[in-house]
Amino acid sequence: MIRQILAVIAGYAIFVITSLLLFQVSGVKPHSKASGLFMILTFVYGAVFSFLSGFVTQFILKARNLKVNFILFIIMVAFAIFSLFNSSGSSCTQLLAIFVFAPFSVLGGVFWIKKHY
C-alpha cells in the first residue's frame, strides 16, 4: 500500500514539477493567452512528461496492472478540473491535462508493462 501511494506521488510530482519548470523557464504565465507555437510546445512537452510520470509510477510499483496509473489519471483530471473552475483566463492547459496528459500517463504505464512482462 505504501509503495502504491509513493508511486502515485512520484508520478504526480514529475508531472507538476516539470509543468512548473516549463512556465518558469519560458516566462509565460500558466493561464494567460499564449502563442500557437507555445501551445504546441506545451502539448508535446506535457505529453512527454505525462508519459514519463506514468512510466515511473509503474517502475516504482512493478505491477502487471494499471490500477495505480488510473489513480494517477484521476488525480491529474481532478486537479485540472478544480483549476479549470477556479482560474480566470485561458483554460488550454487544463483541457490539455484532462484530455491529453492524463491519458498519456496511463500509456506510460502500459509501455512499462509491455516492456517488462
Structural domain total, the chain: 1
Mean pLDDT score, 73-100: 94
45 in Cβ contact with 87 (< 8 Å):
no
Nine-digit cell at 32? 494567460
Per-residue pLDDT band for 31 (boundaries 50, 70, 90) equals confident
Render the burial of 48-77: b for 16+ CB within 10 Å, e for the rest: ebbbbbbbbbbbbbebeebebbebbbebbb
- Rounded to two decimals, the pTM is 0.94
Mean pLDDT score, 60-71: 95
As a whole number of angstroms, the longest Cα–Cα distance in the chain is 45
Mean pLDDT of the chain: 95
Q: Which domain holds residue 76?
A: 2-116
What local confidence, expressed as pLDDT, does residue 58 receive? 97
Mean pLDDT score, 21-39: 93
